[in-house]
Structure 1
Amino acid sequence: MTPLVYRALSRLALPAVLARLYWQGQRDKAGRAGLAERLGRPGEVSGGPVVWVHAASVGEVRAVAPLVRAMAAAGRSIHLTTNTTTGRQTVEQLDLPVAGVTLAPLDSPGVVARFLSTLRPVAAVMVELELWPNRLLALQKAGIPVALVNARLSEPSLHRYQRLGALIPAALGGVRRVAAQSPDDARRLATLGVPAQRIRTTGNLKFDQTLDEAQVAAGHRLREMLGQKRPVWVAASARSDEIAPILTAHERLLQAHPQALLILVPRHPDRVSLPPSAAAQAADWQWTTRSSGENPSATTRVFVGDTLGELPVFLAAADVAFVGGSLVPVGGHNPLEPALLGLPVLMGPHVRNVVEVDKLLAEAGGRRRVMDLHELADALTALFNEPALARRMGQAAQSVAAAHGGACKRTMDWVAPLLP
């Protein structure tokens, strides 16, 4: 595919995309309110030159937070965009020092042009794998330097991009600096068309993230209320298709540990109907939700963390963490938050988004692979049967998280020349 063909197709697709967003907006008031932003109208822009930073959603916002703070401390004014309303809420919750935060413009030529003419950025920083061709081509045409930070590219993604022909190499022509997570990511990005001299392996920014001490303290208070001897595990960032197997695994765990509590934290709380009747087979199961304000009792078996931004609270109250997006082919979510808290980490087989971190945790003995709900139930039972094993795994995970910091400084040193 050529850039010309892609531009034409994206123009033709715009009405259908807008119709879909309008339909979604009937259920999501925040998304409906952001429709103008998606059409390239970021609203009033603060004076002075700005750096456009784009992070796809919650995980990418959390990952880039240390770099945003470093850029702001160095005097850069930042306008941050994200693809989701939850991503924008995360920017606000983290209190990031940005001049503005909006939903990202759709990848259609007219929309992108309107956005750039309003924002007038002096540089652009794209986080992880945000290779939107019209955005990159428009930035290149305008002579605005682009950096890819915390960049990752799996082997399957490389092959998918290569099937697009000349489009992606052309879009990457304006990328001046790439800060790759790993040598393998750097190699694949070079294969995709980025000149090797523009790529540096700087590490994963997620290793530099810090946990809010107030949230950790809140988690410890929650644990005191639950009871220190009660088995508690978290299913973190669970996708909708994972909830049924997670609940079935918990049902099996209850056979060995009848007082066990599952803190279920859905990736998208607004898309989940709880409790799912297919998995809640035991009639005496009791559920409660964080949003209800009702604390779990001694007879509660599932506590649903259906509030945004409180995952560290729930992790700090737990003994073991299963990280979602890994039992289904999503690619796995960030396992470093539980690792930072010294929790043993369980993950399914689908980890293409976190290959390097998953490998490091496994090599250190801090992560155990669970291929399905049966292995998840077995792993949970084993860890609660052997607290010493759980402690060793948690300490190993925490040591990995502590040993691989510094990516923020290396990334900042690499991309700083592009940021006037």
Structure 2
Amino acid sequence: MHDMRALRADPAGFDADLARRGLPAAAALLVVRDEARRGALTALQDRQSRRNALAKQIGQARRTASDSSALEAEAIALRGEIEMLERDAAVLDGQIRAALAELPNRLDPAVPDGADESANVLVHERGERRHFAFAPRQHFELGEALGMMQFEQAAKLSGSRFTILRGALARLERALGQFMLDLHTGENGYQEVAVPVLVNEAAMYGTDKLPKFADQSFVTTDGRWLIPTAEVPLTMLAAGEIIDGATLPHRLTALSNCFRSEAGAAGRDTRGMLRQHQFQKVELVSVTAPDASDTEHERMTSCAEGILDRLGLAWRRMLLCAGDTGFGAARTYDLEVWLPGQQAWREISSCSNARDFQARRMHARFRNSVGGAPEFVHTLNGSGLAVGRTLIAVMETWQAADGSITVPPALRGYLPGLERIAA
């Protein structure tokens, strides 16, 4: 959500940010509606003040047996005007809020121009891409040959874009999630939280998933939404709160199932488990003071990068351009992992600084330790990591010519006695 005062102060800058995202100008109409709303509220206050004055005059006239009919007639007319102005102000306020809810976050000036992912900027690349003496296979080829990754059986149960893992691959996926949680809580200072996977509409709205992404989410018949990521419940823990600034930052993590309808993804990544309706992800969320959020963004991204390093994967950090930056983000880093079977870089984590965009929607504030009025917090979220995509990267990176998969040393403590997955 946006601050109308900031928009009124710099409508050209607001529209310039929209243009960088490839969106049409919106400030002029919002300012016109806001001026009309403010005019209606001013007129309403004037009528209410006159109504209060009339009430006293009518009371005085009645106490002295004076004729109050003209005053009463004016009061009746004022009542109608007040009701009309209240309706007008409410309609205009609803129109402004609905319009603001559809508009994306302001972009950080450091975000590069560009229409799509082709304009994203490489920040750095780490790890060695493995070179094979054989043609490396893709994860679904490896998994099906092992008899441990089943797509037809999953489709029989749930339809397309679901996967069943069996045996050692199921254990490996579970180990990955536990490894990530242990590292983030034990070394990176995050507090683990077990969250619901069903949330109400207010939670989805507060974390900018509604109304923009309604068609990409699943909703139950009683109006609860399946979370697209644990970002939603983790971030909403700050909703409506005034946090003691001395306790910031709050760093939270959760391993949860996530659910996405993948609307608009027809024909994309139909083989394998890259793009699923249900998947597991370890989420990282930070709630910070405004002057600390940029530093926190770098820290969060580094925490996710540490997982990739320990698993021996080749990866790179990309700064997303304006056209590729997500709706709620002011700035986003994507971490991309090298998949030898695909011979391609694929996203495995997005770490975003939302600044006060979500905080305004969910009214999350903090009070500075030196006092003063409450201020909006900044919120950040990132994947630390997507567990299924990490499983894919491990399988393809650590494969052998015979189709077996070596368990990365960092995971062997979670898989006692298992150093190699073979048929």
TM range (shorter): under 0.3
Which one has a bigger Cα radius of gyration?
Answer: 2
The structure carrying a bigger helix percent of its residues is 1
The two structures have a TM-score, normalised by structure 1, of 0.26
